[in-house]
Amino acid sequence: MKLARDTWLIFQRQLQLLLRNPVWVFVGVFQPVMYLLLFAPLLKPALNAPTQAEAYKIFVPGLLVLLAIFGGLFQGFGLIAELRAGVIERSRVTPVSRLALLLGRSLRDVVSLIVQAVIITLLALLFDLRVSLVDLLLAYLMLALIALMTSAVSYGIALKVKSEDALAPLMNTVAQPVLLLSGILLPLTFAPGWLQGIAEWNPFSWAVDGTRALFAGELGDDKVWQGLGIIAILAAAGVFWAARQFARSVR
Amino acid sequence: MIETRGLRKSFRSREGRQTKTVDAVRGVDLKVTEGEIFGFLGPNGAGKTTTLRMLATLIEPDGGEATVAGADLRKDPAEVRRRIGYVAQGGSTWDESTAREELVLHARMYGIGKADAHRRAARALDAFQLTEYADRKCKTYSGGQRRRVEIALGIIHEPQIVFLDEPTSGLDPQSRAHMWEEIRRLRADGMTVFITTHYLEEADALCDRIAIMDHGEVVAEGTPAELKREISGDVVLVGLDAAATAQAARLLDGEPYVNKLESVEEGGLRLYVDEGATAIPQILRRVDTADLGLSSIELHRPSLDDVFLTKTGRSLRES
């Protein structure tokens, strides 16, 4: 009860600050929109897809997962600014739940991601992408879990390193291989065996596969629950770890 | 209100490849009584902030015990948090929020209901003369206004004790005088106030009792008057050039009215005497006969700096 109340309190505050400056939601969506408009048209011939719509069914889920991963991973920067302003320390002197300090922030990130995902989906609909509502909502659940995990991890790392200078290269180093090994831009079915073997160990590759299955309308596909399950477990672990960083002494 | 026994904290810091352990606080015993303004006086790096952060549950002590506002610091930090307020040195407000938003949020983080939080925020804004700016963003405030918001945040839940870390550092003299008034008002409202400062005047004028801290240890504790009385008598500063200093020291060392004698680094002597008014003519006569070229002579009533000096061998103004 206290956790829910405190989380809502922090969430409201964070959302209010975001809405005061909503331009960041659109800055975040700018890059994926560019991919959608300028890169996706190459895919029909490249993927040998029968129609443009088929190509989008493969590409858009990958793009959304990409958005969720990156959107989450870079939230730590905002937290470092809060650390510096003393806002985190001020919160830690109160009896407010430490888990709520994290969850309130991460849930704000999830909401902002879903708004961005809706923008991308609506644009893709203009390009003849078709997906059933149930499949789409499940795909959004997957995205929400991914964003929850990556933003929590990003906050946890931000509390550990405490400086933008250390956070930026660290996040890029993590994100690059994760991105390339998840078949986000092109499906890994094109990859040589060794590369597929490595990608098996990348949870985001499972998430991308699951999301693609949903966009293909294959709700019963094992990949859907496997992807959701793996990401849900990792999100829970990420939240647990990051909340402990909030409870530990940080300046 | 606060009682500590042997509170300790050390930090590990890395210098190149070596890790070094720094003992920031080495066994602090304190007693702060209800309703007083208690001051921690000491140079930067003396361990004042570290001690304060331990008492405010922000960092865990390595050793020792403490009771804060009736709750055990080690066993029940959550209860300590409910009973105390803490205002950090480096600020705690967010640029893009308004004072009213910050106050309401902070009250609600203490579990206070929404309507009550708004009422308290309005009252605090009024008490700290912030109503006029209440709905402007914090980034538009002056240093003094911002500091007042921060103090208001620290006491929004009416704690029994509030910790203020260097509440006046960086403020201009007028804002500082205002802040002293605010702090006295907190005491008048029945709150215990625990401040840290490295300003001698502040400790002297504002605090009911002080503890002088140096190198992680409390070297003296008492009311400013008691501490100054410990240094019996007055201090006479004799200004001489470097060559004459040694000679004057030899001349004056054995004199019956000189309790203690020290050389001042830039030349000259510091003499501790019982009674300045009777000692000065004798000192003058002695120095004059030797023709040592006296450049100045000053009489000082002992200050807290003299207390610091006798306890640590250094002047607080220099360190």
Query: Taking the model in full, what pTM does it have?
Result: 0.84
On the question of pLDDT at B59 being above 80, the answer is yes
Q: What is the mean pLDDT of chain B?
A: 87
On the question of pLDDT at B294 being above 90, the answer is no
Average pLDDT over residues A173-178: 85
Q: Which of B92, B97, B108 sits opposite A9 (nearest CB)?
A: B108
Average pLDDT over residues B270-294: 81
- Closest among B57, B56, B60 to B24, alpha carbons compared: B60
Interface test with A, best of B55, B59, B60, B105 (most A CBs within 10 A): B105
pLDDT tens per residue across span B230-260:
776 788 888 888 777 888 888 788 788 888 8
Q: Which two tokens stand for residue A64?
A: 């959304």
On the question of pLDDT at B266 being above 80, the answer is no
Query: B60 vs A85: CB contact, 8 Å cut-off?
Result: no
For chain A, the straight-line distance linking the first and the last C-alpha, in angstroms and rounded, comes to: 28
Query: B78 vs A95: CB contact, 8 Å cut-off?
Result: yes
On the question of pLDDT at B153 being above 90, the answer is yes
Residue pair B269/B249 in contact by the 8 Å Cβ criterion: yes
- Is some CB atom of chain B closer than 8 A to the CB atom of A22? no
Cα–Cα dist A42/A56, whole Å: 11
ipTM of the complex: 0.87
Q: Which two tokens stand for residue A5?
A: 């109340």
- Starting at the earlier edge strand, list the strands of the sheet with B269-273: B258-263, B269-273, B234-239, B296-300
- Is some CB atom of chain A closer than 8 A to the CB atom of B12? no
Confidence of residue B319 (pLDDT cuts 50, 70, 90): low
Q: In chain A, whose CA is at the least distance from the CA of B56?
A: A93
On the question of pLDDT at A46 being above 70, the answer is yes
Strand extents, DSSP E, B174-292: 192-197, 209-214, 217-222, 234-239, 258-263, 269-273
Percentage of the residues of chain B whose pLDDT score is greater than 70: 99
pLDDT tens per residue across span B18-36:
888 888 889 889 999 999 9
Can you give the pLDDT at residue B55? Answer: 93
Q: In chain B, whose CA is at the least distance from the CA of A13?
A: B105
Distance from the A27 Cα atom to the nearest Cα atom in chain B, whole angstroms: 19
> A94 contacts in B (CB within 8 Å)?
81, 106, 109-110
- Closest among A1, A232, A248 to A100, alpha carbons compared: A1
Q: Which of A16, A86, A93 sits opposite B91 (nearest CB)?
A: A86
Can you give the pLDDT at residue B312? Answer: 80
Confidence of residue B91 (pLDDT cuts 50, 70, 90): confident
pLDDT tens per residue across span A122-133:
999 888 888 899
> B153 contacts in A (CB within 8 Å)?
90
Cα–Cα dist B151/B98, whole Å: 15
> A92 contacts in B (CB within 8 Å)?
58
